[in-house]
Structure 1
Amino acid sequence: MTQLTDLRKSYERAELSEDASLADPFEQFSKWLAEAIAAQVPEPNAMTLATVDSSMRPSTRVVLIKGFDAQGITWFTNYESRKGRELATNPWAALQFHWVELERVVRIEGRVDKVAEAESDAYFASRPLDSRIGAWASPQSQVIPSRALLVANAARYGTRFLLHPPRPPHWGGYRLQPDCWEFWQGRKSRLHDRLRYQLDADRRWTRERLAP
């Protein structure tokens, strides 16, 4: 059996220099995300969301990005889930994308707010029928006696709403407005490239290199 201490990889695919990177982190992110999609890495839209509860205990989970622009990074979920409850208490969070095949990581920090109801309605209407029923059927993050409850709930709401389930009042979108980005590119000998973008007092992005 291979020992964990023996697992090593040399990162040699690419580099990230100040001259080659874009001045706007949203544009740099758009470029890297497009490259991840083009490279057909598994689930390039998957990101880890980190939140903190009222006792300062952190938790993470994987969610899917559903949009981004100068306003921020958007995803959709159950407002009554653990992450929803934690964001209601502490609206600051962090996101991370890890594209293993490209030897790249993107970290994003900022404040999270709910998106407008119309935006949540529009996205919910675009989801497959099973996913829309599932949003009603699952009391996300709550303890349940068995999977049978989910199946029964799905059948009940499917019968109730047929082909037109409305968006549940407890379900919708969040948007993280970044004030800090970090782009990490793996390099040989563990001398990785790390570029951080932070908003200054004038709401302009300052780019700086971090030691790996």
Structure 2
Amino acid sequence: MSDNPITLFEAWYAEARQTEINDSNAVALATADGQGRPSVRMVLLKGHGPDGFVIYTNRESRKAGELTANAHAALLFHWKSLRRQVRIEGRVSLVSDAESDAYFATRGRDSQLGAWASEQSRPLDTRDTFERRFAEAQARFEGGDVPRPPHWGGYRIAPDRIELWQDREHRLHERRLFVRDGEGWTEGLLFP
């Protein structure tokens, strides 16, 4: 078995892509504001590698404000079909404009238009307002490509800690903890 948590994550993630019925890339993102008040929501993982785990969002949303105020976050993957979870904690940084542009170009057109129409996390008076804004975005970009809005982009969580949890009978679970140590990792076990 590998002693590199990124390699282990990639193997588990590949299995989850085959076994999870919906959204194997769904991950709970936990943030905290400048006063330490926590918040958590589900997002979709859109990239990963040795340098971190990437998500995308409106950079004027609540989560973005919290990531700006406190550049640390936690991720939790739970793959029920595999009876596994992965916990990741680390420092957050912005993804480059070029990387954000490249990912945005792969999104479906309606998702691209929705990024222009939505003032994510802000109060909305009626659904009609959002639908009107979406129609306006459709008209604005009709017949052409939809560029990435300047307020939309990615965040990378560079892991300092990664825990791989495997369910076992009678709650005798296996928990492997990896902690960043310079360029490598130290590994240990945790009681279930």
Give TM-score scaled by structure 2 length: 0.97
Select the residue among 6, 11, 15 that pairs with 1:31.
11
> Which residue pairs with 1:48 in the alignment?
28
How far did residue 132 of structure 1 move? 0.3
Select the residue among 191, 194, 197 that pairs with 2:178.
197
How far did residue 53 of structure 1 move? 0.2
How far did residue 42 of structure 1 move? 2.4
Match for 2:134: what amino acid?
A: A
Select the residue among 62, 86, 103 that pairs with 2:66.
86
Alpha-carbon distance in structure 2 between the residues aligned to 1:170 and 1:142: 14
1:115 equivalent to 2:95? Answer yes
Aligned pairs for 1:132-147 (under 5 A) are: 132-147=112-127
1:186 equivalent to 2:167? Answer yes
Identity of aligned residues (%): 49
How far did residue 40 of structure 1 move? 3.7
Select the residue among 171, 175, 188 that pairs with 2:156.
175
CA RMSD in angstroms comes to: 0.9
Query: Which structure has greater strand proportion?
Result: 2
Give TM-score scaled by structure 1 length: 0.88
1:65 equivalent to 2:45? Answer yes
> Which residue pairs with 1:131 in the alignment?
111
> Which residue pairs with 1:151 in the alignment?
131
Per-residue CA distance 1:5-53 (angstroms, 9 max, x = gap)? xxxxxxxxxxxxxxxx311110000000001112244211000000000
How far did residue 126 of structure 1 move? 1.1
Alpha-carbon distance in structure 2 between the residues aligned to 1:122 and 1:36: 25
Match for 1:211: what amino acid?
A: F
Match for 1:164: what amino acid?
A: D
Match for 1:197: what amino acid?
A: F
Alpha-carbon distance in structure 1 between the residues aligned to 2:165 and 2:41: 21
Q: Which runs of 5+ in 2 are unaligned?
A: none
How far did residue 177 of structure 1 move? 0.4
SS in structure 1 at match of 2:191? coil
Match for 2:130: what amino acid?
A: L
Q: Which runs of 5+ in 1 are unaligned?
A: 1-20
Does the CA contact (< 8 Å) of 1:41 and 1:99 recur in 2?
no
